[in-house]
């Protein structure tokens, strides 16, 4: 028994030494990410831990939705709107009666111009299922008009230090006209992966409640008598192939036309990382890329246990 205990301790010491002496070149070469752009940052310090095409400007309607959520949360905190407000879907304009579909392409909320829907239900439809139509309604109600709200979004972007390349337009569904042609910039909401990481970090710092709201497995739209499932398959609650321990927000979005994106954050042993994947070829690849980058981050700078677990997943 005594010799067995010594052997166990010796093995642990060897593992510890190996982890401490992992060549930085090995970690620097990993992981391989299949996406247009990607960034991994430390949420506390803002340090960039890994990036690929981090300064490339790409279409980013998902990140515009995060900015919409931020401005609605600001308005609620400031007393300008209330979660229980009944919001007329059409506002002063005619709104099409097409269903409001989550980006997964399944289900939806059937909205009519004369509908009255509670603000909190519209917000959760946006936060959980990334509804572009819900975003339009929230933009009009919170900003007075989509144009005014767009100004608010871009002003906020400047204040938090996003680059001059970033541009926000609320409620913009992905379509061909919003995508870049040749070397031109996207016509709609756009930014770099670094910008998206700045946005996520600042949003979490200002409104940490957004994590709780965006990480629920499903949300009830009582005015329609339906439940909407969260499209973020990385949430541990789903226990699927892409579930990631510690994942607790923010946004999943995508289509075949613009690619699939993830803006996610995970916390382990008090250490929070933020990952941004833009323009993956499929939803599965976006989740895989995000998981690999998070493993890479925890292999570099997590606790001893996290470094060991994450490093073994990388090799």
pLDDT, tens only, 41-68: 999 999 999 999 999 999 888 888 999 9
Mean per-residue pLDDT, 192-215: 97
Domain ranges of the chain: 29-314
Report how far apart the first and last C-alpha atoms of the chain are (Å, whole number).
33
How big is the chain by its Cα radius of gyration, in Å?
21
Separation CA 199–CA 293 (nearest Å): 18
Query: 0.85 cut: is pTM over it?
Result: no
Nearest residue to 264 via CA among 275, 253, 278: 275
Cis check: omega of the bond before 219, within 30 degrees of 0: no
- The tens digit of pLDDT for each residue in 12-44 reads 556 555 555 554 444 555 678 999 999 999 999
Length of the chain counted residue by residue? 315
Confidence band, pLDDT 50/70/90 cuts, at residue 175: very low
Task: Give the pLDDT of residue 314.
Answer: 52
Note the pLDDT tens digit of each residue in 226-253: 888 999 999 999 988 999 999 999 988 8
Is the pLDDT confidence value at 295 over 90? yes
Give Cβ neighbours of residue 50 (< 8 Å, ≥ 6 apart): 38, 39, 40, 293, 296, 297
pLDDT at 186 over 80: no
Q: Does position 2 have pLDDT exceeding 60, yes or no?
A: no
Pairing of strands 116-118, 109-110: unpaired
Per-residue pLDDT for 303 more than 70?
Answer: no
- pLDDT mean over 253-264: 87
For the chain, the average pLDDT equals 81
How many percent of the chain have pLDDT more than 70? 74
Check residue 93 and give left, alpha or beta (phi > 0: left; psi -120 to 50: alpha): beta
**In the 3-class helix/strand/coil scheme, how is the chain assigned residue by residue?**
CHHHHHHHHHHHHHHHHHHHCCCHHHHHCCCCCCCCEEEEEECCCCCEEEEECCCCCEECHHHHHHHHHHHHHHHHHCCCCCCCCEEECCCCCCCCCCEECCCCCCCCEECCCCCEEEHHHHHHHHHHHCCHHHHHHHHHHHHCCHHHHHHHHHHHHHHCCCCCCCECCCCCCCCHHHCCCCCCCCCCCEECHHHHHHHHHHHHHHCCHHHHHHCCCEEEECCCCEEEECCCCCCHHHCCCCCCCCEEEEEEEEECCCEEEEEEEEEECCEEEEEEEEEECCHHHHHHHHHHHHHHHHHHHCCHHHHHHHHHHHC
Q: Which fold has domain 29-314?
A: Beta-lactamase (3.40.710)
5 or 61, higher pLDDT = 61
């Amino acid at each position: 028994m005594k010799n067995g205990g010594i052997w166990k301790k010796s093995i642990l010491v060897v593992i510890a030494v190996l982890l401490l002496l992992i060549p930085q070149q090995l970690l620097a070469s990993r992981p391989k990410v299949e996406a247009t752009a990607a960034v991994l940052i430390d949420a506390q310090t803002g340090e960039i831990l890994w990036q690929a095409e981090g300064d490339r400007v790409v279409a980013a309607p998902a990140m515009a939705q995060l900015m919409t959520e931020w401005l609605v949360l600001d308005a609620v905190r400031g007393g300008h709107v209330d979660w229980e407000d009944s919001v007329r879907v059409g506002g002063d304009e005619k709104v099409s009666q097409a269903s409001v579909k989550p980006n997964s392409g399944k289900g939806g909320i059937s909205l009519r111009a004369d509908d009255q829907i509670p603000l909190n239900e519209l917000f959760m439809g946006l936060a959980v299922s990334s509804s572009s139509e819900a975003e339009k309604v929230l933009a009009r109600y919170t900003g007075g008009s989509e144009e005014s709200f767009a100004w608010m979004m871009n002003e906020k972007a400047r204040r938090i230090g996003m680059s001059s390349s970033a541009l926000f337009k609320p409620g913009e569904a992905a379509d061909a006209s919003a995508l870049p042609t040749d070397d031109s910039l996207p016509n709609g909401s756009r930014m770099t992966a670094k910008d998206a990481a700045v946005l996520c970090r600042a949003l979490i710092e200002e409104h940490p409640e957004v994590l709780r709201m965006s990480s629920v497995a499903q949300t009830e739209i009582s005015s329609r008598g339906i439940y909407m499932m969260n499209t973020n398959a990385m949430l541990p609650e789903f226990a699927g192939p892409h579930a990631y321990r510690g994942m607790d927000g923010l946004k999943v979005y995508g289509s075949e036309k613009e690619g699939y994106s993830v803006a996610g954050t995970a916390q382990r042993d008090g250490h929070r990382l933020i990952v941004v994947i833009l323009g993956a070829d499929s939803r599965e690849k976006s989740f895989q890329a995000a998981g690999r980058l998070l493993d890479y981050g925890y292999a570099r700078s997590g606790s001893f246990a996290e470094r060991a677990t994450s490093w073994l997943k990388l090799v």
